[in-house]
Amino acid sequence: MTSPRRSAREEPAAIDPIAAIGLVDDDDIALDSAALLLAAADRQEGSADLGPAHLYLDGLLVRLKAETRQQGGKTAAAQADALVALLADSEGFSGDEDSYDSPENADLLAVIRRRRGIPISLSLLYVALARRMGWQADILGLPGHVLVAIGSRTSHVLLDPFADGRPVDAAGVRAIVERALGRQARVDPSHVEPLGNRAILVRLLMNQASRARRGGDAPRALTLYRRMTLIAPDHSSLWWERARLERLAGDIEAARRSLAAMQETTHDPVVAGRIRAAVEALAR
């Protein structure tokens, strides 16, 4: 007797929206949409309604387009001025000096609601909106801080969204580097390199994970590292920390899998040896 055919077409399994970020090219990641998905993941069962947040961001885009049509926005300076006028002056987005370590400051849903954030979340908002306008915009990952660059690599304007969009000159960049690395530090090209989209999202999550670790909340830190490895599976150091946290949680098999994933992402023989030693230690 033959088995009856299925009467309904099987639907393919849904892809985790955060895992889907790790499957696309870096340049194709929409920073604001991705950051909202990460924020939704912290709500109950990831069920936050993102519709109002997307409508709000769409409204900002409409207003910025209208403003630049009236005032002009062809130069980097004009584009930077328009962003600051809208986001800082009109909407009131600013750095949260009073509760800097609050997890809400790295949660784009909360940042939109509170109009407060940390440098990386505010910079993400500036850059995402600028790119939706078709402007060239990047986040520069300085030591201990980030800035927004509007314009080309050779002709741009630097803004500090945490300081209400204040423009930053070369002396300001030097002061940021010295504050983080000491007065003898020099600014080198690595200090002003644009961050890729995955690196931006990882930095957003790393901010939360670091605070969770310092606060002794290892389960929360592990959750965040799992998200980071989904978004950036080729970042070896993320797998190492994930494996460490899984070992602390007593999930030895998960730690082995994370170390195996790390092994696939590195070509450094020293790192490979370190991984083998860690796997052997887990077997004891």
Please give the pLDDT value at position 277.
87
Higher pLDDT, 58 or 185: 58
* Digit-coded pLDDT (tens) for 174-204: 899 888 888 877 777 777 889 999 999 999 9
Is the pLDDT at 218 greater than 90, yes or no?
yes
**Percentage above 90 pLDDT, the chain:** 70
Q: What pTM does this model have?
A: 0.88
- Name the pLDDT band for 269 (thresholds 50, 70, 90): confident
Question: Which domains are delineated in the chain?
Answer: 25-192 (3.10.620), 197-282 (1.25.40.10)
Please give the pLDDT value at position 151.
93
- Name the pLDDT band for 77 (thresholds 50, 70, 90): very high
Cα(65)–Cα(63) distance, integer angstroms: 5
Please give the pLDDT value at position 206.
95
Q: What Å distances lie between residue 80 and 86, 87, 97, 128, CA to CA?
A: 10, 11, 23, 13
Please give the pLDDT value at position 181.
87
Is the pLDDT at 46 greater than 70, yes or no?
no
Q: Which of 35-39, 48-52, 129-133 has the lowest mean pLDDT?
A: 48-52
Mean confidence (pLDDT) of the chain:
89
pLDDT, average across residues 53-71 = 92
Higher pLDDT, 147 or 72: 147
